[in-house]
Structure 1
Amino acid sequence: MSETARQHGPQTHAPVLAATNITRRFGGLVAINNVSFEVRPGEILGLIGPNGAGKTTMFDLLAGSILPTSGEIRLNGALVSGEAAHLRIGRGLGRTFQIPRPLPNLTLIENVMLAAQGQSGERLLANFLTPWRVAAEEKVAAKKAADLLELVSLTRLAHEPARVLSGGQRKLLELARVMMADPAIILLDEPAAGVNATLLEVIIDRVRDINRSGITFLLIEHNIDMVTRLCHRVLVMASGELLCEGTADEVARDPRVIEAYLGGAA
């Protein structure tokens, strides 16, 4: 485990997010089989495994995009197994995607502002009955969005349409968008995929900065160097099951992990 990970590891064992005996079936296919783990406050937990291991399905289950066939998911102690994704966002769970899809014709700051929660302007009547409140909230949201774009080093592009961004810049924009909703935990889906080395360093630094501010991460990533540098603990999945967990160094030496990656696990 890296020096940064040791210095900024979690300070408590009470879970922010907990999966208990999670199973998900698609017809006769068991995509996730009886998986249990916890994400502790303040940590960056890595989730790795070969292609087809079930990592993205697990993210979909945690985020509420799909529901488990059996088992429980708890977010800050609340049972959310049957809740839709938008309700989990309201409880403090944010998620990014491997391929970000910002609204291309909106500016970066507009894209970020769209993620603001609980805005009066979302209700039609409020725009007519309390326009001053709507305007005040929008001003606060614009300031917060600008601060987040500065955090992810995109200030100079704040008023440019999102379509001008590179793949790495889109991932930084998505990180700002998810931060706009004030998450307690962020599910970060392959932030290194398709990103050049320079922007990858920026992403790593920003994840560290955000983690130091108290936000927890669960990270899917194939870039083992990034996992080693960032993650306090690592979970390894293969064939829909949890294979092992430990530090990056520990799981890299585990014979089961070597077999899963080199032995053709699906």
Structure 2
Amino acid sequence: MSEAAERQGKETCVPVLTASNVVRRFGGLVAVNNVSFHVKAGEILGLIGPNGAGKTTMFDLLAGSILPTSGDILLNGTRVSGEAAHLRIGRGLGRTFQIPRPLPNLTLIENIMLAAQGQAGEKLLANFLTPWRVAAQEKAARTKALELLELVTLSHLAHEPARVLSGGQRKLLELARVMMADPAIILLDEPAAGVNATLLEVIIDRIRDINARGITFLLIEHNIDMVTRLCHRVLVMASGQLLSEGTAEEVARDPRVIEAYLGGTA
């Protein structure tokens, strides 16, 4: 079990991630309007809603890409509302993006190794004063990166440049890369977008496998079949507000959700 997952396990009584009365304004536009929810340790929570509902803005707020106008965001009970994204990564929050952008000319293993945290070799003097430590950490990082490539079924391409990957394979690479940072929770931004049916099954299986290791997930997704198969709970946003919460079956029967998606037609 990863160090972050062990830390998460010790704090099971505290939600891994909490949004409390979060508001985000862009001038006169209220993109997120007084949204509150929590993510339980070990669950896969889905966040769905029609286009323009505020889902991506909510993800950006949780990840630290943008800061809330008001309200609080807590990670394992610690307030992180004003922290930048790189500080939240250090606290165990990882994020993938709808359109992955690996460094195309680096190999897959090199792309993953870049996400390793706390590497002594990042400091210039350490390479001269403690080269053995730098070498040992790099060896460990390479071994871990290979294991993660095996996990996401890309080990046969470990030494190929990332530019050769298909869209679905890039999603798998990004999943491996975020795992390199030992997250306690991963925010997945539309993992099914642009992925063929075969690779989508692989992605679903890998998410389940990683979740079984104790890693929590919050995912935005338009593929309702994927949400139904994966998510323990589902949140629905519309017009910047939290509209409904429950199992996939429960929210699908909610008249407010039907109205938001279909304009009131069943």
TM-score > 0.5, shorter chain as reference: yes
Report the TM-score, using the length of structure 1 for normalisation: 0.94
Change (3 A) 1:261 1:13: farther
Per-residue CA shift, 1:29-78, capped at 9, x if unaligned? 10000000000000000000000000000000000000000000000111
Structure 2 counterpart of 1:32:
32
Per-residue CA shift, 1:100-159, capped at 9, x if unaligned? 000000000000000000000000110111111100000000000000000000000000
Structure 1 position 13, deviation (Å): 5.5
Per-residue CA shift, 1:141-199, capped at 9, x if unaligned? 00000000000000000000000000000000000000000000000000000000000
Structure 2 counterpart of 1:109:
109
Rounded Cα–Cα distance in structure 1 between residues aligned with 2:213 and 2:75: 19
Which SS does the other structure have where 1:219 is aligned?
strand
Structure 1 position 263, deviation (Å): 1.7
Structure 2 counterpart of 1:83:
83
- Mapping 1:32-181, distance limit 5 Å: 32-181=32-181
Which SS does the other structure have where 2:36 is aligned?
strand
* 8 Å contact from structure 2 (residues 236, 257) kept in 1: yes
Letter in 1 for 2:34: N
* 8 Å contact from structure 2 (residues 47, 218) kept in 1: yes
Structure 1 counterpart of 2:187:
187
- Mapping 1:225-240, distance limit 5 Å: 225-240=225-240
Structure 2 counterpart of 1:8:
none
Rounded Cα–Cα distance in structure 1 between residues aligned with 2:256 and 2:162: 43
Rounded Cα–Cα distance in structure 2 between residues aligned with 1:252 and 1:53: 17
Rounded Cα–Cα distance in structure 1 between residues aligned with 2:123 and 2:81: 28
Letter in 2 for 1:103: L
Letter in 2 for 1:101: R
Rounded Cα–Cα distance in structure 2 between residues aligned with 1:170 and 1:127: 32
* 8 Å contact from structure 2 (residues 172, 203) kept in 1: yes
Identity of aligned residues (%): 87
Structure 1 position 12, deviation (Å): 5.2
Rounded Cα–Cα distance in structure 2 between residues aligned with 1:137 and 1:104: 24
Rounded Cα–Cα distance in structure 1 between residues aligned with 2:37 and 2:153: 34
Letter in 1 for 2:233: R
Letter in 2 for 1:121: G
Rounded Cα–Cα distance in structure 1 between residues aligned with 2:201 and 2:54: 27
Structure 1 position 14, deviation (Å): 2.8
Rounded Cα–Cα distance in structure 1 between residues aligned with 2:29 and 2:197: 38
Rounded Cα–Cα distance in structure 2 between residues aligned with 1:157 and 1:21: 45
Name segments (4+ residues, structure 1) moved above 4 Å.
Answer: none
Rounded Cα–Cα distance in structure 2 between residues aligned with 1:118 and 1:14: 26
* 8 Å contact from structure 2 (residues 227, 248) kept in 1: yes
Report the TM-score, using the length of structure 2 for normalisation: 0.94
User: Unaligned 5+ residue runs, structure 1?
Assistant: 1-10
Which SS does the other structure have where 2:125 is aligned?
helix
Rounded Cα–Cα distance in structure 1 between residues aligned with 2:13 and 2:198: 34
